[in-house]
Chain A
Amino acid sequence: MTTLLYAVMDLGTSVEGCTAPGGRPLRIVGDDGLGAVVSELDGHLHMDEPSLWAHEHAIEQLMDRGSLLPARFGTTAQDESEILQMLRDRRNELEAALERVRGAVEYAVHVDTGAEPVGASAAGGGTGVAYMRGLLAQRRHERELMERVESQLGDLARAVTVLSSTSLACLVPRERVSEFVARAETYALSISGPWPPYSFVTP
């Protein structure tokens, strides 16, 4: 039996009625205001699609109860005391991170670069130089698009982080969510969310 971590939240948050995949109750442990939401885990986690969504939905229940720092999937500890020790050791870092995301949710934004795969265009020329030129042009194109997205949505986000050459994450205060979604639609940007702030747990 191990302890599975779901999120870090204010210790005063009520998680009554929130359940882990499989129906086990989630509980909050901690001290001095900082809490960790955990459940016991029999055996091991399965990394298949239903299990990942089930884990996500457990964290989404908690989002309705208060601001949180979601844990990465599969973050386990030997027992509750190890979780409490982690909270003590990293109190300053976790409290600061929780303040940064307080009252906000994450949205994923995808940029359609419309670019041909580099390999395909290089196959004709066949030289390394042609390949590198193609790659550079593609990177430049992606960077320009990314800058454009930041200029289109950035003012509605508390923070923006680049996840890949074609996707970024925006931390959006809840009161700005409807405006954010409408704006994304205006610019025909593909978005998903609201997500727990997975991409904003570190500075």
Chain B
Amino acid sequence: MSEVLAPPPARNIALIDLLDRLLQGGIVIQGDITLTAADIDLVRLDLRLLLAAIDKAAGQ
């Protein structure tokens, strides 16, 4: 996926696809998810999705 600079709404769709994958997919090492919640500035795009991902990460 390389359409980083694609115009909206294609860019937003790509970003949501990115979040779906980087934050909810992929392999994990049990118990080790290190993120800095203070740096979140994605809320304007899809708060529900992001919060779901954080909940999932925090629960592991």
- A5 surroundings in chain B (CB, below 8 A): 27, 29
Do B28 and A71 touch (CB < 8 A)? yes
Do A75 and B1 touch (CB < 8 A)? no
Cβ of B59 under 8 Å from chain A: no
**Per-residue B-contact encoding for A139-160, CB less than 8 Å = 1, 0 else:** 0000000000000000000000
**Per-residue B-contact encoding for A1-41, CB less than 8 Å = 1, 0 else:** 01001001000000000000000000000000000000000
Do A75 and B35 touch (CB < 8 A)? no
Partner among A72, A110, A193 whose Cβ is within 8 Å of the Cβ of B26: A72
Query: For chain B, which range describes its interface: under 10, 10 to 19, 20 to 34, or 35 or more residues?
Result: 20 to 34
Do A77 and B32 touch (CB < 8 A)? yes
For residue A68, give the distance in angstroms from its CB to the closest CB of chain B: 10
For residue A38, give the distance in angstroms from its CB to the closest CB of chain B: 11
- B19 surroundings in chain A (CB, below 8 A): 52
Separation of A164 and B29 alpha carbons in the complex (Å): 24
**Per-residue A-contact encoding for B1-17, CB less than 8 Å = 1, 0 else:** 11110000000011101
Q: Which of A31-74 contact B (CB under 8 A)?
A: 44-49, 52-53, 55-57, 60, 69-74
Do B41 and A48 touch (CB < 8 A)? yes
- With A110-B13, A193-B1 known as contacts, the answer to whether A198 contacts B35 (CB < 8 A) is no
- A-B contacts, 15 of them at CB < 8 A, read A44-B34, A47-B37, A56-B1, A56-B22, A57-B2, A72-B23, A74-B33, A74-B35, A75-B26, A75-B27, A192-B1, A195-B1, A198-B24, A198-B26, A201-B26
**Interfacial residues, chain B to chain A (CB-CB below 8 A):** 1-4, 13-15, 17-29, 32-37, 39-42, 57
- 9 A-B pairs with the lowest CB-CB distances in the bound complex, closest first: A198-B25, A72-B26, A198-B21, A73-B22, A46-B39, A108-B17, A74-B35, A76-B34, A70-B26
